[in-house]
Amino acid sequence: MKRAGALAIACAAVGALAGCGSAGPAASPGPGQATAAATSLATSLETAGDSWAVLPMAANPAFWEVFVRAAASPDWRLVTPQGVADNGGLVAAGTAGALVVAVRPNQELTFSPLATSTDGGAQWKTGLIDARIAATPGALAASGSRLLALLGDGTILASSDSGSSWRTLAGPGALAGSPAGRACGLRAVTDVSFGINEGEVLAAGGCGAAGTGVFAYSAGGWQRVSLPVSGQLVRMMPGVVLVASGTRLYAARDTPSGWQASAALAVAGGGVRAAGSYGSGGAWVLLPGRQAAAIGGPGQQWRSLPLVPPGTAVLAGGSDGAMDALAVSGNTMTVWRLAGAANVWAKFQSIGVPVQYGSSS
Amino acid sequence: MPGMNSGLNPANPIIVAAFRSALFHQWAIVGIIFLLLLLCWGATRGWVTARTQATAVFAAAWHEPLARRLLRVGFGALWLFDGILQAQPQMAAGLPSQVVAPAAESSPAWVQHLVNWGGSAWSYHPVQAGASAVWIQVGIGMWLIFGVRGWPSRLAGLAGAVWGLIVWVFGEAFGGIFGAGLTVLFGAPGAAAFYVVAGLLIALPERAWQTARPGRLLLGGAGVFLAGMALLQAWPGRGFWQGTADGKPSALADMIQTMAGTQQPHALSVLVSGFGNFTAAHGFAVNLFAVIALAALGAGLAAGALRGDTRLALIAVVAATVFCLADWVLVEDLGFLGGLGTDPNSMIPLILLLIAGYLGLTPAPQSALATAPAAAAPEHATRVPSRVAAARDWIAALSGRSVAALGAVGVIVVGAAPMAFASANRNADPIIAQALAGSSGPMNTPAPGFTLTSQAGRQISLASLRGKVVLLTFLDPVCTTDCPIIAQEMRAADTLLGAKASQVDLVAVVANPTYLSTAFTAAFTRQEGLDQVPNWLYLTGSLSQLQAVWQHYGIQVQNLPAGAMSAHNDIAYVISATGVIRQEMSDDPGPGTPSTKSSFASLLADAARQAIGAGQ
């Protein structure tokens, strides 16, 4: 046998790189792929004027944090729900005045606890999805007390009592096996959402050569929604679907008069690192090379933003029409603000996050 | 390789103390065996008959070929040395994780699977396994040294070959021959492979050594081996031609510098480190020299063996010995210093084989006595002794060395028997759990009562569980690490209890101030498959109810900020059928490896059995 000590040192080095014995790596896939499955779980959304951001603060294991900027305040606060390890990632959904986050299973935990706040993150009410929620940012949707959840095996669940109980809308493969899914060649559902029409349930996924498939659920069946653009699904959010076609990115907005497509945004490399909702029916995207863009509600077009600060994990709506970039470095989250007419990000706020390194490994 | 790593600190004092204790007790047994053998031998020496004298004369007259003697004594000494190295205090808990797992690191999955299987057996019974390795290797060493001739000596060779094969496969992962970066300079194909070859040669019939064939085979084989290693060393793209790559030391320089950094005498460290720096600076030249040297030595050895040219063979063997010694010092760094060295690596056994091969080219002529045993024992032909007399004669005829060899077999049995018995138990020894969590003391305190709600929504009071032993613990239903493992250990303990499980209730109380509804206890129960365990109860209540229970049982529960899980201490209580706490133990599962899980399950089951047995 070779000398053990030397080999053990080598193994320890390899082990450290591989993350031996620690909590599992963050669920967010790498950048560079313009598909929903490849888009980071890091996101932001708005609920009745409050801006929420969900992002990881550390790598391997990642500690996911929830920040909020109340409608009446320019400042962000750390409001991560307590009592559960979120190293597997958080999936967030918003509805009027409330944020719901589902904790992705991690290590020995195989189901998904829920936390809902209706008071800007001061208090959280617990709930449960007794299964693994999917690792996509569009796996959870909320509208009033109604919730939709997409599971890792493709099951779509619905709740009408804020997650106290769930019923199955579609089992694994049911949507792909439906006439609409077969006609589209649906490979996997990656996003669920509520439509702008009362009670409308939407599911979206990639359909291979046929591009993006968005499906509406009604009367126990699924019908494909006709989008005005074709391409691969990047992400579906309330009222907006991002679709990439080659190096062009489109936003299809759901309006009372039907779906409307934006003009194309040129996306060098074609990758969308992260995306989130912005304003009313708008969206933002983070692109490779610190590039970013945002689009307002229906009728508005993409606006390229100045290069975002290093470490930017998400963009979010700032106060007074500004755009905020939330950047992470170690255990510090820094808010950079882009005022309405400005073309430079200005450092606005820093928040030290008490990351409990080693607590979940 | 999840199975083999117990997760224990190799220096864990409980395991180290138990290992020392086992070695001490087995040492005492070994001493008794030798004492008894000496007494028997001494007592029978006076009964020597003419026949036994003749047998002894015959034995003394046989001249063992020098090549075989070198192999026997040389490898016997190596096995003895390895056995002593196995007695290092950290070996019991450290060998699987610090020796075996790194050795298999770069091997393909099937090798890792096989090695993991073997390593798991060790990690489940580390004390017995560690002690058995010591005594088996010491016993084989003694057997080889003292077993000079006849079938006992050949059997010693075979034992060495078999054990060497076990070490080669499970301890060295086939010497890394299926892994990346294979090179003879680091020790390929594994020292134990050379032990196997030596053992097989010793096991050859004695008449085989009367020819030059073993020597030629040995030298020829070594020549082909070294030539093959030269080719491998020269193969492009394996990283041996560069001293540095991307600013970092390449494979050879890195290995040498890593070895130089381990604990060892300063002078040696300086020497090895210097050579490491030289290799980093002149990687191409060093590898070129190694390739040429290996190829030339291989060709010389093979040619000497094929042509029966003893002069060429001598030159090649001397040159190979110098090369091997240089590699042993400058690259392998003597092989056993620092860390958990288990042998002096490959170069010393290779040198022994090479010299034995050369000596085997010129076998010594046999004496007339040695070839005519029947003529030396005329009494045997005329009278058949009784069985008792035959046994007495046999013992009386034994030489001192033979008695020692017989004792060596006893040493092997002393080492192997406890491990064999332990291996029959598929559950890990409780000592692993004790080593992780510390030992627990007996208690005799009334268990504080409580009434909480089960995962099924039923109200359950502790008093209502009277008549059964209660294993009580505190679990967080949304925990991602310890609590699910503790639950799995409790389930395994329930299985171990068998029919006695009906006399035990497994009870957990929620230890999370936020996620505490029955929805979570029910989900956790399903997650852990405990919904199929009838005596499992996962209890919860309002936060105030839970806080009261936590306080009574000394459980501290606290939410941590920023995405961390709720923190609480891991404690289990054994409550008797009459409601008295009999034992308090930490059930922190540590790394949650298969062996620690199994060990905790054994510990919990043992505690429950004791409480059942104690009755009141």
How confident is the model at residue B41, as a pLDDT? 77
Of B190, B515, B519, the CB nearest to A84: B515
* pLDDT score of B382 more than 70: no
How many structural domains are present in chain A? Answer: 2
Give the nearest partner residue to A11 out of B105, B563, B566, using CB atoms: B105
Scanning every residue of chain A, which has its alpha carbon at the shortest distance from the alpha carbon of B513? A83
Higher pLDDT, B166 or B378: B166
pLDDT (mean) for A3-20? 30
> Within this chain, do residues A154 and A196 fall inside the same structural domain, yes or no?
no
Contact residues, chain A, for B332 at CB < 8 Å? 2-3
Q: Greater confidence, A62 or B396?
A: A62
For residue B204, pLDDT beyond 90? yes
**% chain B with pLDDT above 70:** 90
Q: Is the pLDDT of residue A360 over 60?
A: no
Q: How many CB atoms neighbour CB A4 within 10 A?
A: 29
- Domain identity same for A91 and A56: yes
Query: Are A137 and A188 contained in the same domain?
Result: no
The two structure tokens encoding residue B487: 């639950």
| Residues A284-314: tens digit of each pLDDT | 999 999 999 999 888 889 999 999 999 999 9
- Alpha carbon distance A138, B224 (integer Å): 63
Among B95, B258, B480, select the one facing A108 at the smallest CB separation.
B480
**Quick check: B167 and A1 CB within 8 A?**
yes
Answer yes or no: is A92 within a domain.
yes
A269 Rama sector, left if φ>0, alpha if ψ -120 to 50, beta otherwise? left
Residue A94 inside a domain? The answer is yes
Contact B259 A3 (CB under 8 A): yes
pLDDT class of B52 with cuts at 50, 70, 90 = low
Q: Which of B403-417, B519-533, B573-587 has the lowest mean pLDDT?
A: B403-417
Tokens 């499992």, located at residue: B536
Residue A144, in any domain of the structure: yes
Closest CA to A154 of A137, A136, A140, A174: A174
Which pLDDT does position B385 carry in this prediction?
59
Final residue belonging to a domain, choices A161, A181, A204:
A161
Cα A191 to Cα A195: distance, rounded to the nearest angstrom: 12
- End-to-end CA separation in angstroms for chain B: 44
User: Domain end: A161, A181, A215, which one?
Assistant: A161
Residue showing tokens 């009755």: B615
- A69 & A4 share domain: yes
Domain-located, residue A249: no
Chain B positions touching A1 (Cβ under 8 A) are: 99, 103, 167, 171-172, 190-192, 341-343, 345
Taking CB atoms and an 8 Å limit, are A356 and B480 in contact across chains? no
Q: Which among B333, B342, B519 has the least Cβ separation from residue A1?
A: B342
CB contact under 8 A, A128 and B565: no
Residue A343 lies in a domain: no
What distance in Å separates the CA atoms of residue A207 and residue A187, rounded to the nearest whole number? Answer: 6
Please name the residue that has the structure tokens 């439509």: A195
Cβ neighbours for A44, distance < 8 A, ≥ 6 positions apart: A51, A52, A53, A54, A276, A277, A278, A284, A314, A315, A316, A317, A326
- Residues A220-269 have pLDDT tens digits of 889 999 999 989 999 999 999 999 988 899 999 998 889 999 999 988 76
pLDDT value at residue B379: 44
Q: How far apart are the C-alpha atoms of B98 and B91, rounded to whole Å? A: 9
Q: A192 and A59, same structural domain?
A: no
A15 with A139, same domain: the answer is yes
The answer to whether residues A95 and A203 belong to one domain is no
Closest Cβ opposite residue B103 in set A2, A64, A359 = A2
Q: What percent of chain A has pLDDT over 70?
A: 88
The stretches of A126-192 forming alpha helices (DSSP H) are: 174-177, 179-184
CB A49 within 8 A of CB A120: no
What integer pLDDT is reported at residue B374 of this predicted model?
42
Q: Which residues of B touch A3 (CB under 8 A)?
A: 259, 262, 332-333, 335-339, 341, 345
pLDDT band of residue B393 (cuts 50, 70, 90) is low
In this prediction, residue A37 carries a pLDDT of: 38
Determine whether the interchain pair B527/A9 forms a contact, defined as Cβ–Cβ distance below 8 Å.
no
Is the torsion defined by CA of A217, A223, A229, A234 positive or negative?
A: positive
pLDDT, one tens digit per residue, over B567-597 is 999 999 999 999 999 999 888 888 888 888 8
Alpha carbon of A210 to those of A187, A254, B200, B467: distances in Å?
11, 20, 68, 67
**Between A194 and B12, the higher pLDDT residue:** A194
Closest CA relative to residue A49, chosen from A78, A77, A69, A75: A69
Same domain, yes or no, for A91 and A218? Answer: no
Q: Do A82 and B560 touch (CB under 8 A)?
A: yes
Last residue of a domain, one of A182, A198, A226: A226
Least confident stretch, A14-18, B271-275, B513-517: A14-18
Report which of A84, A92, A68 is spatially closest to residue A235, judged by C-alpha positions.
Answer: A92
Residue B247: partners with Cβ closer than 8 Å, 6 or more residues away: none
pLDDT tops 50 at residue A16: no
Chain centroid, CA B613 distance in Å: 36
Whether residues A153 and A203 fall in one domain: no
* Mean pLDDT, rounded, for B209-223: 91
pLDDT for B94-123, tens place per residue? 888 888 888 787 788 888 888 888 888 888
**Closest alpha carbon within chain A to B1:** A20
Q: Which of B98, B480, B489, B520 to mutate to test the interface with A (most CBs of A within 10 A)?
A: B480
CA angle B568, B574, B577 (to 5 degrees): 140
- Residue A361's pLDDT band (cuts 50, 70, 90): very low
Taking each continuous run of H as one helix and of E as one strand, the counts in chain B are 25, 12
Enclosing domain of residue A83: 1-23+39-161
Nearest CA in chain B to A14: B105
Q: Name B253's Cβ contacts closer than 8 Å, sequence gap at least 6.
A: B243, B244, B276, B277, B279, B280, B283
Give the count of beta carbons closer than 10 Å to the beta carbon of residue B94: 27
**Would you say residue A251 lies in a domain?**
no
pLDDT for A15 equals 29
**A67 and A112 both lie in a single domain:** yes
Q: How far is A136 from chain B (nearest CA, A)?
A: 19
How far is the C-alpha of B451 from the C-alpha of B516, rounded, in Å? 15
DSSP B216-261: HHHHHHHHHHHHHHHHHHH-TTSS-S-SEETTEE-HHHHHHHHHHT
CB contact under 8 A, B561 and A80: yes
- Which residues in chain B have Cβ-Cβ distances shorter than 8 Å to A21? 591
In the predicted model, is pLDDT for residue A12 greater than 60?
no
Give the model's pLDDT for residue A8.
Answer: 33
Mean predicted lDDT score pLDDT of chain B: 86
A89 & A203 share domain: no
Residue B45 confidence (pLDDT) above 70:
no
Does residue A59 form part of some domain? Answer: yes
Residue B202 has pLDDT above 60, yes or no: yes
Q: Would the CB atoms of B478 and A113 count as touching at under 8 Å? A: yes
Q: Residue A114: which of A79, A87, A86, A137 has the closest Cα?
A: A86
pLDDT of amino acid B97 = 82
Q: In this complex, do B562 and A78 lie within 8 Å of one another by their Cβ atoms?
A: yes
pLDDT of residue B404: 83
Q: What is the pLDDT of residue A9?
A: 31
The position carrying tokens 């409550």 is B575
Listed range (A19-28, A131-140, A339-348, B594-603) with the worst mean pLDDT: A19-28
Query: In the prediction, which pLDDT does A23 show?
Result: 32
What pLDDT does residue A32 have?
Answer: 30
Say which range, A248-262, A263-277, A332-346, B215-229, has the weakest mean pLDDT. A263-277
| pLDDT tens, residue by residue, A165-214 | 999 999 999 999 999 999 999 999 999 999 988 789 999 999 977 789 99
The pLDDT value given to residue B364: 62
Please name the residue of chain A whose CA is at the shortest distance from the CA of residue B191: A1
Query: In the A/B pair of chains, how many CB contacts fall below 8 A?
Result: 175
The reply to whether residue A82 touches residue B99, judged by beta carbons under 8 angstroms, is no
pLDDT score recorded for residue A246: 86
Q: What is the ipTM score, two decimals?
A: 0.87
Residues 6+ apart with CB under 8 A from B577: B466, B467, B468, B469, B503, B611, B612, B615, B616
CB contact under 8 A, A87 and B484: no
Structure confidence at residue B236 (pLDDT) = 83
Q: Is A97 left (phi over 0), alpha (psi -120 to 50) or beta?
A: left
**Do A201 and A115 belong together in one domain?**
no
Please, what is the average pLDDT of chain A? Answer: 85
Q: pLDDT, tens digit, for every residue of A120-162?
A: 999 999 999 999 999 999 999 999 999 999 999 999 999 999 9
pLDDT tens digits along B148-190: 878 889 999 999 999 999 999 988 888 888 877 788 888 889 9
pLDDT tens digits, residue range A108-130?
999 999 999 999 999 999 999 99
The answer to whether the CB atoms of B564 and A106 lie below 8 A apart is no
Q: How far apart are CA B72 and CA B78, in angstroms?
A: 10
pLDDT of residue A31: 30
Examine residue A167 and state whether it is found in any structural domain, yes or no.
no
Radius of gyration of chain A, Cα coordinates, nearest whole angstrom: 20
Name the nearest CA neighbour of B452 among B541, B553, B542, B551.
B541
pLDDT tens digits, one per residue of B464-482:
999 999 999 999 999 998 9
**Which of A193, A211, A15 shows the shortest CA–CA distance to A92?**
A193
The model's confidence at residue B256, banded by pLDDT at 50, 70 and 90, is confident
Contacts of B261 in chain A (CB under 8 A): 6, 9
